[in-house]
Structure 1
Amino acid sequence: MTPRQDIDIRPIHEDETRDWIRALNTGFQFPPTVSDADVRDRTTYIIPERTLGAFDGTRCVGTFRSFPQEVTAVGGTPVRADAISNVTVTSTHRRRGILTRMMAKDLAAAKERGDTVATLIAAEYPIYGRYGFGVATTTAEWTIDVPRAGLDPRWSGPDDGGRIDLVDGDDVRKTGPELHERLRRAQPGVVDRDERWWQVRTGALVVDPASWTEPFHAVYRNAEGEAEGLLTYTVDDHWGDVKQPLETAKVKDMIAVTPAAERALWQYVCSVDWVTKVRTGWRAPDDLLPHLLPDPRAARILTQADLLWVRVLDVVAALEARTYGATGTLVLEVVDRGGLSGGRYRLDASEAGASCARTTADAELTLDVSELGSLWLGDESAVRLAALGRVREERAGAASLADALLRTSRRPWCPDIF
């Protein structure tokens, strides 16, 4: 076994890209063969100095990549984030501190750059809390039994003066980015999407033609002709034994910036001929969907789980970036085993804004930086965390005050995996 100190953690060189991808595929249990097309594609978007490899001699046995991102704070402010992805350690090299070293290297660089938070989507739950990440958003997916839903099968379009138009990928690349910008200005937890994201999702960039299925795209326009929603979906080809269509529509993405758009797009996809089930894709856990149906029981939960994890790197910047629903002052003792963000902070918050600074005043609430990540977007409850023993009140009522300040009326949501 190679000693820990002999595993070299460093940014990869250009000629190591194929070996890095092979290690990545191996870590995620994908076929290890790497195509020339995959190598060419990867080199167009990875940032070499932020693409780490763990090397045992010349063999890559660990992968780690980060890239710039913006995540929307409560109130609509975009916050600089260090987005972490492609994290693997080859099974032959587990338990040697490889991930810890890669994570420490990346987070230190993010702190030095001035990033406010780090973000990731966790494949496995138990790993990332020890690095200061906390669950900041959850996601839900429903399957809709269309015949049971109670919707009018004769429905032919919105009754509010709006309309539904089917469009192609070129139209989506024109309309989608602006709609997504409107969504992320209003929805805490949403992350930005770059041009490549839209190219991949619309087929303008196809890395693996064998796995590509061209989707349908539907745009909702209001009575004034303004686009307010975009739905992307595929439909399988399944028929019953007695020549009966039993097809399932799978929603790949839905952006709705108004309730009218959300209602119209769900009504539309549930009205497509031959579709008897709709899989909603990943939605906010408090999505309007079930109660847009005459029979909400027709929508059955398939998945409800954590999605976006947040690691606070700059407590002052993170707490000052967001808005608050009440007025109050709270002194937080933030414990950070990673040595990046720990200390005592005084938060003075009101509906007009907030200020935060280090302080020597007595702490009122003590919490790990991972719990601060869970509270930051307003989804988690400090009272609940106190009951779980994950935060500690130093002053009676401090957790309730934290909830009054930090929690949001609608839950944060991140629609994307990265």
Structure 2
Amino acid sequence: MSSRTDIDVRPVTEDELPDWERAVNTGFLRSPAVGEEYLAARRHRFVPGRVQGAFDGGRCVATFRSFAQELTAVGGAFVPAAAISHVTVTPTHRRRGLLTRMMARELTAARERGDVVATLIAAEYPIYGRYGFGPATTTAEWTVDVPRAGLDPRRAAPADGGRIDLVDGADVRRLGPALHERLRRDRAGAVGRDALWWRTHTGELRFEASWTEPFHAVYRSADGEVEGMVAYRADDTWGDAKQPLNTVSVDRLIGVTPAAERALWHFLCSIDWAVTVRSGPRAPDDLLPHFLPDPRAARITTQADWLWVRVLDVVRALEARTYGGRGRLVLEVVDAAGPAGGRWRLEASAEGASCRATAEGADLVLGAGELSRLWLGDESAVRLAALGLVREERAGAARLADALLRTSRRPWCPDMF
């Protein structure tokens, strides 16, 4: 058995991608085989220096990738983020510190690049807290019982003068980027989508030979402006009495107005043969149930943490966002990995905020992961204090933190990466 020091953790060259991709598939319990079409598509995502591997005797046994991302802070500012993905360790090489070594390299490089935060979506909850990450958004999925919803299929057309049009992938690539830009400027937790994202999610660039094209529809307002878009699929299920019992499953649905969202959900619930609609990942305070005559027809079938955030630059992170009121807090951040650690004085108001290192006494003591959980406005400092994860050094400091940091709409990240 190789020792920890025998295993070489380093950036991967493009020539090593086949071995690296094989290790990725092994770690995710997929067939290890790597086809040429798959590799050709993956090369579009290769950025030298941002793909790491751990090599034992020349074979890749752990993987790690990061890429540049923009994350929307509370208030609509975009902050540079290091998005982390493709994290695996081969079963034969677990518990040897390989992930810790790769993560340390990436967080150091991210801070040097000027990234304000790092982000990831965790397959397993217990892993990433020890690296200063915290769950910052929640996702929910609704299942809609269409007959119970009470919509009149004869009135499926939008009542506001808008219209729904079916479109194809080329239309989505043309219309989608501007629509998504409008969405992410108004939703904390959203992330940017580059041209490669639109190509891969519309089938122009395919990682898998088995990729199938979804249906695409757009909502246009009465003046013809595209304000919403949905990608969806349907199964082919029939009951014993030759009765269609199909399920419509949403891949993605975005709308920049409530009218657009309402129209798209009503459209999906009025499709002939559909008796069930699955919403796909949504914000936990999504309006979907209340667009239906009977909100009980929509029940949450999945709810879990989604986007995890790791604050790297406390000053820039706290100054980038907006605040719900006026107040002053001194935060003592405990960060074993270093970049967020220290004592920070936050002075916030509706007009903006300043954050500086200070030697003043702390009002709240918390870890880097807890600061990261609070930053996007979804978590409560009072809750974390009750759980023993935040400590008040001044009575009422947790309530003040909530008054400043929490948001009226919960943050939401529509994307998986």
Offset of 1:147 from its aligned partner? Answer: 0.3
Instruction: State how far apart, in whole Å, the 1-side matches of 2:279 and 2:344 are.
Output: 41
**What amino acid does structure 1 have at the position aligned with 2:395?**
A
For the residues of structure 2 that align with 1:115 and 1:98, how far apart are their CA atoms?
23
Deviation string for 1:249-305 (max 9, x for gaps)? Answer: 110111100000010000000001111100000000000011111111111211100
The residue aligned with 2:293 is: 294
Which residue pairs with 1:354 in the alignment? 353
TM-superposition CA deviations, 1:92-142 (whole Å, max 9, x none)? 000010000000001000011110000000000000000000000000001
Distance, in Å, in 2 between the alignment partners of 1:290 and 1:40 is 42
Please say if residues 329 and 346 of structure 2, whose CA atoms lie closer than 8 Å, have aligned partners that are also in contact: yes
Distance in 1, Cα, partners of 2:138 & 2:229: 22
Which residue of structure 2 aligns with residue 33 of structure 1? 33
Unaligned runs of 5+ in 1: none
Matched residue count: 417
Matched residue SS, 1:404: helix
Task: Please tell me the residue identity of whatever aligns with 2:23.
Answer: A
Separation of aligned partners in 1, 2:160 and 2:55: 60
Q: Percent identity among equivalent residues? A: 70
1:15 corresponds in structure 2 to: 15
The corresponding residue for 1:400 is 399
Q: Which residue of 1 aligns with 2:280?
A: 281
Amino acid paired to 1:197: W
**Deviation of residue 156 (structure 1)?**
3.3
Find the residue that maps to 2:201 and give its secondary structure.
helix
CA distance in 1, matches of 2:206, 2:3: 41
- 1:319 is aligned to 318
> Structure 2 matches for 1:152-191, cutoff 5 A?
152-191=152-191
Q: Distance in 1 between matches of 2:348 and 2:409?
A: 19
Q: CA–CA distance in 1 between the matches of 2:160 and 2:294?
A: 22
Secondary structure of 2:154's counterpart equals coil
On the 8 A contact 2:237/2:246 being kept in 1, the answer is yes
In the alignment, what sits opposite 2:416? 417
Provide the residue aligned with 1:261 in structure 2: 260
**Partner residue, 2:102:** 102
Q: Quote the offset at 1:178 in angstroms.
A: 0.5
SS at match of 1:305: strand
Q: 2:56 & 2:94 partners in 1: Cα distance?
A: 12
Equivalent positions of 1:338-377 (< 5 A) are 338-377=337-376
**Matching residue of 2:250:** 251
Aligned-residue offset at 1:213:
1.6
Instruction: Tell me the CA shift for residue 153 of structure 1.
Output: 2.1
The amino acid of 2:84's aligned partner reads I
In structure 2, the residue matched to 1:242 is 241
For structure 2, the residue ranges without an aligned partner over 5 or more in a row are none
Q: Which residue of 1 aligns with 2:125?
A: 125
Q: Is the 8 A contact 2:137 2:308 kept in 1?
A: yes
Q: Partners of 2:62 and 2:378 in 1: how far apart?
A: 33
Q: After the TM superposition, which residues 196-211 of structure 1 pair with which residues of structure 2 at under 5 Å, given as runs?
A: 196-210=196-210
The C-alpha deviation readout for 1:381-403, integer Å capped at 9, x for no partner, is 00000000000000000000000
3-state SS of 1:124 partner: coil
Q: After TM superposition, which residue ranges in structure 1, 4 or more long, deviate above 3 angstroms? A: none
Alignment of 1:19-168 (within 5 A): 19-168=19-168
User: d(CA) in 1 for partners of 2:221 and 2:19?
Assistant: 50
Instruction: Name the CA distance, whole Å, in 2 between partners of 1:143 and 1:341.
Output: 40
Q: Contact 2:41–2:205 (CA<8 Å) still a contact in 1? A: no
Q: Which amino acid aligns with 2:82?
A: D
Further displaced range: 212-221 or 372-381:
212-221
- Secondary structure of 1:245's counterpart equals coil
TM-score normalized by structure 1?
0.99
Q: Which amino acid aligns with 1:281?
A: G
Q: Deviations over 1:168-198 (max 9, x none)?
A: 1111111111110000000000000111111
